[in-house]
Amino acid sequence: MATPFTIDNLPYGVISTASNPKPRCAAAFEVNAIELDALEKDGFFGDIPGFEGNCIFGQRHLNDFAVLSKEIRAEVRRRLKRFLSDSQDASNKYLTPLETVTNHLPMNTFNYSDFYCSLEHAQNCARVMKVDMQPNWFSIPSVYCGRTSSLTVSGTPVVRPHGVIQESPASVPVYAATRKLDFELEMGVFLSKPLPPGRRLSTEEATEHIFGFVILNDWSSRDIQSFEMTPLGPFHSKGFMTSISPWIVTLEALQGSETSRTIPQSPPPLPHLAWNGPSDSATFDIDLSVEIIRE
């Protein structure tokens, strides 16, 4: 059976089951969830710094694990891979079929920033909104603060939002359900190592702060958005719901996808945004696709 959850992936998430309704941390492997909390209680990680006497994986989110150093998290990953490779029979005690689990939000998120970083997407949105591309888009990251409370795990039902809509400049604004509900396929990045206030971060240091990635659907209500955008930008049209996949793919799992940039940026990024590391690890080669299924 084909599965994205290979031994080279091992993404992290939070699960519960009917037999054990307490949310706890897990990793996905093939068609099973690895019960990390049970492994930790049995001393599997006991000699790893940061795990001594702590309940890292017994929490209802991954924050306590994500904040550990990159080296410690890499050791946990190596140990899991070794365990699954060498002790398949013994590991069955710690495996729960994915079809029996309920997924929860993997992280307790305190901040959510929504970036507007695809040129094609920005151009398409400008055409839809009948506005010009802003010149500053080409020089600074285009981003706004999203609504953290709107984050939901994939599979959560979508409720069609209501808002104020104006069909044309001459029409009277009305309060109604959106008739132009849209989606945006994006990648979400979980950061787990905070910076002290006022501290600047170089692009080379970024990997020290990245825990992992999820697929993100930035639900958007285009008719509500077009009326509320001016002058301060979107609010309810982009903040009613944001879906993320339940499993966080770590930076280590994507190392095989690192690649150089093939499309030069014009104009070149300002020095503080330029990548000065190895050219063959400037970005990732990741294919994302969407299939729309009508009921």
Enumerate the known binding-site residues: 114, 116, 184, 186, 218, 225, 238, 242
Question: Cα 167 to the chain's mean position, in Å?
Answer: 34
How many Cα atoms sit within 13 Å of 263 on the Cβ side?
Answer: 5
Q: Could you tell me the two tokens for 82?
A: 């070794």
* CA–CA gap between residue 124 and residue 116 (Å, rounded): 12
Which residues lie across from 250 on neighbouring strands? 212
Radius of gyration of the chain (CA): 21
In the numeric block, the tokens 């994915």 are attached to 98
The answer to whether residue 61 is catalytic is: no
> Which residue pairs, CB below 8 angstroms and at least 24 apart, start in 44-53?
44/79, 44/83, 45/76, 45/79, 48/72, 48/75, 48/76, 48/79
Any bridge partners for residue 17, and if so which? 101
Pick the catalytic residue from 61, 104, 121, 272. Answer: 121
In the annotated binding site for Mg(2+), the residues are 218, 238, 242
Q: Which residue ranges are tagged as binding site for substrate?
A: 116, 225
Q: Which residues are catalytic?
A: 121
